[in-house]
């Protein structure tokens, strides 16, 4: 007997999932499925990708705690096509079947498996298009001489080292210069390394603030 998980979602707090529960329990009984858990999200919009019930269900799916997911309708899982495809794609990779009561989608049958293949192809195409758009944007930024990534910190390194020699902690120095503890630790390490190698500490400041060269 296959182990089934039910996922239910209602958008407002005054709505109740009884109708969804009744239909899904009846479908599970007709298919001779063992319901191991029901995951419910109350008063949460389907546009939100992160939801307590859905997140818990996906965690349990990765742990292999059920074999099939039953939902009342696809829009109960997600309103965003991309998010729905991501969920369906992950369930498919975990070898977990997906059944939608209203749309009559069942990935265990030939038509359902064809839908999964189409869904996977669409998802892969979308990921490829996103990567290409990002790469194109970075190439254009380089050609225009614009910086990619965060602008380097304009920090008085000598002042940081002076504060450190005066016995101030990393947290205190970070608060004084409005930077993170990690940045303070990095500056101190680089300055100490430069001194040990005989490199002028001022040269590090110049190199860090030098604007990037444009790509011809």
Written as six digits, the tokens of 64 are 């292999």
The C-alpha angle 204, 207, 211, rounded to 5 degrees, equals 155
Active site residues: 11
Neighbours of 52 (CB within 10 A): 12
- DSSP lists the bridge partners of residue 71 as 7, 100
Distance CA(51)–CA(40), nearest Å, equals 10
Written as six digits, the tokens of 180 are 């993170």
Q: Residue 51's closest CA among 72, 78, 24?
A: 78
CB 53 within 8 A of CB 41: yes
């Amino acid at each position: 007997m296959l182990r089934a998980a039910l996922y239910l979602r209602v958008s407002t707090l005054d709505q109740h999932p009884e109708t969804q529960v009744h239909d899904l329990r009846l479908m599970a009984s007709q298919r001779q499925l063992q319901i191991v858990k029901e995951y419910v999200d109350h008063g949460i919009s389907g546009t939100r990708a992160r939801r307590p019930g859905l997140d818990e269900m996906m965690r349990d799916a990765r742990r292999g705690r059920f074999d099939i997911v039953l939902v009342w309708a696809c829009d109960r899982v997600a309103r965003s096509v991309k998010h729905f495809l991501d969920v369906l794609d992950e369930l498919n990779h975990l070898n977990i079947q997906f059944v939608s009561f209203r749309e009559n989608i069942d990935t265990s049958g030939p038509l359902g498996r064809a839908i999964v293949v189409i869904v996977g192809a669409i998802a892969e195409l979308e990921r490829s298009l996103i990567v290409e758009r990002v790469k194109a944007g970075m190439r254009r930024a380089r050609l225009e001489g614009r910086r990619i990534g965060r602008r380097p910190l304009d920090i008085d390194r000598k002042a940081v080292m002076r504060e450190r020699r005066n016995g101030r902690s990393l947290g205190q120095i970070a608060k004084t210069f409005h930077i993170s503890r990690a940045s303070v630790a990095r500056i101190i390490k680089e300055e100490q390394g430069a001194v040990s190698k005989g490199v002028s500490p001022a040269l590090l400041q110049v190199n860090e603030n030098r604007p990037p060269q444009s790509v011809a």
